[in-house]
Amino acid sequence: MNILIVSDIFGLNDSTDFISQFLSSLGHIKVFDPYETQKMHFSDEQQAYDYFTSIGGVNNYADKLICSLQLGEVVDFAIGFSVGGSALWQISSVMQKPLIKRQMCFYPNQVRHMTHLSPQCATTVLLPQSEQHFCVQTLAKNIQNKALVDVSFVEALHGFMNESSQYFNAVARQAWLDKIKDTVQGKN
């Protein structure tokens, strides 16, 4: 089983390490990040966001991701966080050949600018309770009727899976890691 983790604006950090380790019994884990495996040390989310946008933002991240995927084996299960989930949404909607079989996108807020796209693989979108800059219910309404897309709400806030986020929630992260494991093992 090939599993791909696509990081958020923080890139590689303790959370990507923790998630990789937790899922390692399921198969081969690869982590893709926007900083080409260089660990960054941001003081807060604003600094991380500013740097991420200065190097090209989501579109650049998606371009790098699709290039990487075209060089490797098909991904059985992809998990993206924030901009990572948005990049997965974008590339899975324009794939010329199947590169990803199934994906789970956690709080992919940039999808609100890509509602015209439709993923070509089974996609679960997990939206937080609320977002500061837009209405998550409107986003859900705009994408929930797409073929292959399942939308769910999480009782946590954007960033809850990442220790670097101010909204990190250890209990919610563990619950969702258990659900990911069950999903990959076919128990869901």
pLDDT in tens, 36-61: 999 999 999 999 999 999 999 999 99
Q: Is the pLDDT of residue 72 over 90?
A: no
The span from the CA of 6 to the CA of 31, in Å, is 6
Residue with tokens 């977002």: 131
| Amino acid (one-letter) located at 79 | I
Angle, alpha carbons 32-84-114 (nearest 5°): 140
Q: Is the pLDDT of residue 188 over 80?
A: no
Q: How many residues does the chain have?
A: 188
Integer CA distances (angstroms), 10 to 3, 37, 77, 124, in order: 20, 11, 21, 22
pLDDT at 166: 93
Total-model pTM: 0.96
Gyration radius (Cα) of the chain, Å: 15
Closest CA to 85 of 188, 170, 158: 158
Three-class secondary structure of residue 126 per DSSP? strand
Q: Kindly report, residue by residue over 106-153, the tens digit of the pLDDT.
A: 999 999 999 999 999 999 999 999 998 999 999 999 999 999 999 999
Q: What is the pLDDT of residue 98?
A: 87
Measure the CA–CA gap between 12 and 152, rounded to whole angstroms: 26
